[in-house]
Protein backbone atom coordinates (compact mmCIF):
# COMPACT_ATOMS: atom_id res chain seq x y z
CA UNK A 1 0.00 0.00 0.00
CA UNK A 2 1.26 3.45 -0.91
CA UNK A 3 1.39 6.18 1.69
CA UNK A 4 -0.26 9.57 1.15
CA UNK A 5 3.13 11.11 0.49
CA UNK A 6 3.90 8.48 -2.17
CA UNK A 7 0.59 9.13 -3.91
CA UNK A 8 1.21 12.88 -3.80
CA UNK A 9 4.68 12.41 -5.28
CA UNK A 10 3.28 10.42 -8.19
CA UNK A 11 0.55 12.99 -8.78
CA UNK A 12 3.12 15.78 -9.01
CA UNK A 13 5.20 13.93 -11.62
CA UNK A 14 2.21 13.15 -13.80
CA UNK A 15 0.73 16.60 -13.38
CA UNK A 16 3.90 17.87 -15.00
CA UNK A 17 4.10 15.49 -17.94
CA UNK A 18 2.25 12.89 -19.94
CA UNK A 19 4.19 9.62 -20.29
CA UNK A 20 3.12 7.78 -23.48
CA UNK A 21 4.91 4.54 -22.51
CA UNK A 22 5.90 5.04 -18.89
CA UNK A 23 6.68 1.42 -18.00
CA UNK A 24 8.74 0.92 -21.17
CA UNK A 25 10.72 4.07 -20.42
CA UNK A 26 11.37 2.92 -16.85
CA UNK A 27 12.46 -0.50 -18.09
CA UNK A 28 14.89 1.08 -20.57
CA UNK A 29 16.33 3.34 -17.88
CA UNK A 30 16.76 0.46 -15.43
CA UNK A 31 18.00 -2.23 -17.79
CA UNK A 32 19.79 -0.39 -20.59
CA UNK A 33 20.84 3.12 -19.62
CA UNK A 34 21.55 3.39 -15.89
CA UNK A 35 24.41 1.80 -13.95
CA UNK A 36 23.72 -1.94 -13.73
CA UNK A 37 24.90 -2.09 -10.12
CA UNK A 38 21.56 -0.73 -8.96
CA UNK A 39 18.82 -3.12 -7.84
CA UNK A 40 15.44 -1.64 -8.72
CA UNK A 41 13.19 -4.45 -7.45
CA UNK A 42 12.74 -5.89 -4.01
CA UNK A 43 13.99 -9.40 -3.33
CA UNK A 44 11.37 -12.01 -4.04
CA UNK A 45 9.82 -10.06 -6.91
CA UNK A 46 9.00 -12.64 -9.61
CA UNK A 47 8.27 -10.23 -12.45
CA UNK A 48 10.43 -7.07 -12.57
CA UNK A 49 8.42 -3.88 -12.10
CA UNK A 50 11.31 -1.59 -11.12
CA UNK A 51 9.18 -0.34 -8.22
CA UNK A 52 12.17 1.20 -6.41
CA UNK A 53 13.15 3.21 -9.49
CA UNK A 54 9.59 4.52 -9.96
CA UNK A 55 9.47 5.60 -6.34
CA UNK A 56 12.92 7.20 -6.69
CA UNK A 57 11.92 9.26 -9.73
CA UNK A 58 8.64 10.43 -8.23
CA UNK A 59 10.30 11.69 -5.06
CA UNK A 60 13.32 13.07 -6.90
CA UNK A 61 11.01 15.14 -9.10
CA UNK A 62 9.33 16.71 -6.07
CA UNK A 63 12.71 17.59 -4.56
CA UNK A 64 13.91 19.18 -7.79
CA UNK A 65 10.69 21.15 -8.10
CA UNK A 66 11.22 22.50 -4.60
CA UNK A 67 14.80 23.51 -5.46
CA UNK A 68 13.68 25.03 -8.79
CA UNK A 69 15.99 22.71 -10.71
CA UNK A 70 13.56 21.79 -13.48
CA UNK A 71 14.99 23.75 -16.41
CA UNK A 72 13.08 25.11 -19.41
CA UNK A 73 14.08 26.55 -22.77
CA UNK A 74 13.40 30.25 -23.35
CA UNK A 75 10.33 29.51 -25.47
CA UNK A 76 9.09 26.94 -22.91
CA UNK A 77 8.94 24.22 -25.57
CA UNK A 78 11.32 21.89 -23.79
CA UNK A 79 12.12 20.94 -20.20
CA UNK A 80 14.57 18.63 -18.47
CA UNK A 81 15.85 17.57 -15.07
CA UNK A 82 18.87 15.71 -13.76
CA UNK A 83 17.75 12.28 -12.53
CA UNK A 84 20.75 11.91 -10.22
CA UNK A 85 21.52 8.62 -11.95
CA UNK A 86 24.55 7.78 -14.08
CA UNK A 87 25.51 5.28 -16.75
CA UNK A 88 28.10 2.54 -16.29
CA UNK A 89 30.66 5.12 -17.40
CA UNK A 90 29.51 7.72 -14.87
CA UNK A 91 27.77 9.92 -17.42
CA UNK A 92 24.83 11.83 -15.96
CA UNK A 93 21.30 10.92 -17.07
CA UNK A 94 18.55 13.49 -17.71
CA UNK A 95 14.80 13.28 -18.23
CA UNK A 96 13.83 15.23 -21.36
CA UNK A 97 10.36 16.66 -22.12
CA UNK A 98 8.67 18.63 -24.89
CA UNK A 99 5.57 20.79 -24.82
CA UNK A 100 2.38 18.70 -24.82
CA UNK A 101 0.38 19.45 -27.95
CA UNK A 102 -2.34 16.79 -27.83
CA UNK A 103 -4.75 17.91 -25.11
CA UNK A 104 -7.69 15.65 -24.36
CA UNK A 105 -11.07 17.07 -23.48
CA UNK A 106 -12.36 16.51 -19.92
CA UNK A 107 -8.83 15.82 -18.68
CA UNK A 108 -6.36 17.94 -16.74
CA UNK A 109 -3.73 18.01 -19.43
CA UNK A 110 -0.11 18.36 -18.25
CA UNK A 111 2.05 21.06 -19.84
CA UNK A 112 4.72 18.64 -21.09
CA UNK A 113 5.12 15.23 -22.68
CA UNK A 114 8.00 12.91 -21.77
CA UNK A 115 10.37 12.20 -24.67
CA UNK A 116 13.22 10.12 -23.26
CA UNK A 117 15.86 9.52 -20.64
CA UNK A 118 19.10 10.79 -22.15
CA UNK A 119 22.81 10.82 -21.44
CA UNK A 120 24.43 14.21 -20.93
CA UNK A 121 26.17 13.88 -24.29
CA UNK A 122 22.91 13.39 -26.22
CA UNK A 123 22.82 15.82 -29.17
CA UNK A 124 19.12 16.61 -28.88
CA UNK A 125 19.49 17.41 -25.20
CA UNK A 126 22.55 19.59 -25.79
CA UNK A 127 20.90 21.40 -28.68
CA UNK A 128 18.28 22.75 -26.28
CA UNK A 129 20.21 22.94 -22.99
CA UNK A 130 23.89 23.18 -23.94
CA UNK A 131 24.54 25.99 -21.44
CA UNK A 132 21.67 25.37 -19.05
CA UNK A 133 21.79 21.75 -17.92
CA UNK A 134 20.31 21.44 -14.41
CA UNK A 135 22.24 20.20 -11.41
CA UNK A 136 21.40 17.25 -9.20
CA UNK A 137 19.25 17.65 -6.09
CA UNK A 138 20.94 18.89 -2.92
CA UNK A 139 19.98 16.65 -0.02
CA UNK A 140 22.40 17.82 2.64
CA UNK A 141 24.40 20.88 3.62
CA UNK A 142 26.73 19.21 6.10
CA UNK A 143 28.53 15.97 5.11
CA UNK A 144 28.86 15.10 8.81
CA UNK A 145 25.08 14.64 8.95
CA UNK A 146 25.54 11.44 6.93
CA UNK A 147 27.68 9.79 9.59
CA UNK A 148 26.66 8.64 13.07
CA UNK A 149 28.64 10.43 15.78
CA UNK A 150 29.57 7.83 18.43
CA UNK A 151 30.15 10.60 20.99
CA UNK A 152 26.46 11.46 20.96
CA UNK A 153 23.93 9.71 23.19
CA UNK A 154 20.97 7.93 21.61
CA UNK A 155 17.76 8.35 23.63
CA UNK A 156 14.78 6.64 21.94
CA UNK A 157 11.09 7.25 22.71
CA UNK A 158 10.28 3.57 23.21
CA UNK A 159 6.56 3.96 23.96
CA UNK A 160 5.97 6.11 20.89
CA UNK A 161 7.84 3.66 18.64
CA UNK A 162 5.68 0.76 19.85
CA UNK A 163 2.33 2.53 19.85
CA UNK A 164 2.69 3.93 16.34
CA UNK A 165 4.36 0.99 14.62
CA UNK A 166 3.01 -2.30 15.99
CA UNK A 167 1.97 -3.51 12.54
CA UNK A 168 5.58 -3.16 11.34
CA UNK A 169 7.02 -5.46 13.99
CA UNK A 170 7.67 -9.16 13.27
CA UNK A 171 4.53 -11.30 13.47
CA UNK A 172 5.89 -13.20 16.46
CA UNK A 173 5.96 -9.92 18.44
CA UNK A 174 2.67 -8.37 17.40
CA UNK A 175 0.65 -10.35 19.94
CA UNK A 176 3.00 -9.55 22.82
CA UNK A 177 1.84 -7.07 25.44
CA UNK A 178 3.51 -3.65 25.53
CA UNK A 179 5.77 -4.59 28.42
CA UNK A 180 7.23 -7.58 26.55
CA UNK A 181 7.59 -5.56 23.33
CA UNK A 182 9.33 -2.84 25.26
CA UNK A 183 11.87 -5.29 26.75
CA UNK A 184 12.68 -6.77 23.34
CA UNK A 185 12.89 -3.40 21.64
CA UNK A 186 15.13 -1.95 24.35
CA UNK A 187 17.42 -4.96 24.04
CA UNK A 188 17.70 -4.58 20.27
CA UNK A 189 18.41 -0.85 20.57
CA UNK A 190 21.10 -1.39 23.20
CA UNK A 191 22.71 -3.97 20.93
CA UNK A 192 22.78 -1.67 17.90
CA UNK A 193 24.10 1.19 20.05
CA UNK A 194 27.17 -0.92 20.83
CA UNK A 195 27.59 -1.94 17.19
CA UNK A 196 27.35 1.55 15.69
CA UNK A 197 29.87 2.96 18.17
CA UNK A 198 32.51 0.61 16.78
CA UNK A 199 31.33 0.66 13.14
CA UNK A 200 29.74 3.93 12.04
CA UNK A 201 29.05 2.48 8.57
CA UNK A 202 26.13 0.54 10.04
CA UNK A 203 24.15 3.81 10.09
CA UNK A 204 22.55 4.47 6.70
CA UNK A 205 21.41 8.01 5.84
CA UNK A 206 17.90 8.62 4.51
CA UNK A 207 16.07 11.72 3.34
CA UNK A 208 12.57 12.26 4.72
CA UNK A 209 10.38 15.30 5.26
CA UNK A 210 13.09 17.70 4.22
CA UNK A 211 15.89 16.46 6.47
CA UNK A 212 18.60 13.84 6.79
CA UNK A 213 18.03 11.02 9.27
CA UNK A 214 20.00 7.86 10.03
CA UNK A 215 18.78 4.27 9.90
CA UNK A 216 20.01 1.61 12.32
CA UNK A 217 19.25 -2.15 12.03
CA UNK A 218 17.06 -3.70 14.73
CA UNK A 219 17.35 -7.46 15.21
CA UNK A 220 14.24 -8.69 17.04
CA UNK A 221 14.02 -12.32 15.91
CA UNK A 222 16.13 -14.76 17.96
CA UNK A 223 18.98 -16.44 16.05
CA UNK A 224 18.25 -14.47 12.87
CA UNK A 225 21.21 -12.90 11.07
CA UNK A 226 18.98 -10.36 9.34
CA UNK A 227 17.42 -7.26 10.93
CA UNK A 228 13.65 -6.99 11.20
CA UNK A 229 13.27 -3.21 11.23
CA UNK A 230 15.19 0.01 10.74
CA UNK A 231 15.26 2.45 13.64
CA UNK A 232 15.03 6.07 12.45
CA UNK A 233 17.27 8.41 14.43
CA UNK A 234 17.91 12.13 14.11
CA UNK A 235 19.84 14.74 16.05
CA UNK A 236 18.12 16.83 18.67
CA UNK A 237 21.27 18.84 19.29
CA UNK A 238 25.06 18.45 19.17
CA UNK A 239 25.10 15.74 21.86
CA UNK A 240 21.85 13.76 21.54
CA UNK A 241 20.13 11.59 18.94
CA UNK A 242 16.52 10.61 19.40
CA UNK A 243 14.28 8.00 17.74
CA UNK A 244 10.50 8.11 17.50
CA UNK A 245 9.71 5.59 14.77
CA UNK A 246 10.87 2.50 12.92
CA UNK A 247 10.45 1.38 9.32
CA UNK A 248 10.16 -1.89 7.48
CA UNK A 249 13.27 -2.63 5.45
CA UNK A 250 11.42 -1.90 2.20
CA UNK A 251 10.35 1.52 3.45
CA UNK A 252 13.86 2.22 4.69
CA UNK A 253 15.49 1.23 1.40
CA UNK A 254 13.13 3.44 -0.59
CA UNK A 255 13.97 6.46 1.57
CA UNK A 256 17.71 5.76 1.62
CA UNK A 257 17.93 5.18 -2.14
CA UNK A 258 16.77 8.73 -2.78
CA UNK A 259 20.22 9.98 -1.71
CA UNK A 260 22.46 7.19 -3.00
CA UNK A 261 22.48 3.42 -3.28
CA UNK A 262 23.03 2.12 0.30
CA UNK A 263 26.38 0.41 0.68
CA UNK A 264 25.56 -1.26 3.98
CA UNK A 265 25.59 -5.01 4.46
CA UNK A 266 22.14 -5.04 6.10
CA UNK A 267 19.89 -2.67 4.10
CA UNK A 268 19.16 -4.29 0.77
CA UNK A 269 16.17 -4.25 -1.60
Digit-coded pLDDT (tens) for 236-262? 998 999 999 999 999 999 999 998 888
What does the pLDDT look like over 32-73, one tens digit per residue? Answer: 999 987 789 888 778 889 999 999 999 999 999 999 999 999
Sheet holding 204-208, edge to edge: 153-156, 240-247, 229-235, 211-218, 204-208
How does the average pLDDT of the chain come out, rounded?
90
**Separation CA 81–CA 135 (nearest Å):** 8
What percent of the chain stands above pLDDT 90?
69
Vertex 14, ends 8 and 20: CA angle to 5°? 150
What does the pLDDT look like over 80-131, one tens digit per residue? Answer: 999 999 999 999 999 999 999 876 655 678 999 999 999 999 999 999 999 8
What does the pLDDT look like over 184-197, one tens digit per residue? Answer: 999 999 999 999 98
Amino acid sequence: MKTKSENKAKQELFKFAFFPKYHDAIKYLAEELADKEDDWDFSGTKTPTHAILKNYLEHMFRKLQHEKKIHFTGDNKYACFNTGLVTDNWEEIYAFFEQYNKPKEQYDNPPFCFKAFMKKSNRELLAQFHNNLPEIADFFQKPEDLIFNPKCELIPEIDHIIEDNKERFPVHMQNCDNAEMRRKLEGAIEEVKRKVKTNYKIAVPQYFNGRIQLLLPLCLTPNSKNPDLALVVHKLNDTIYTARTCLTLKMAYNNARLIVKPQSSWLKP
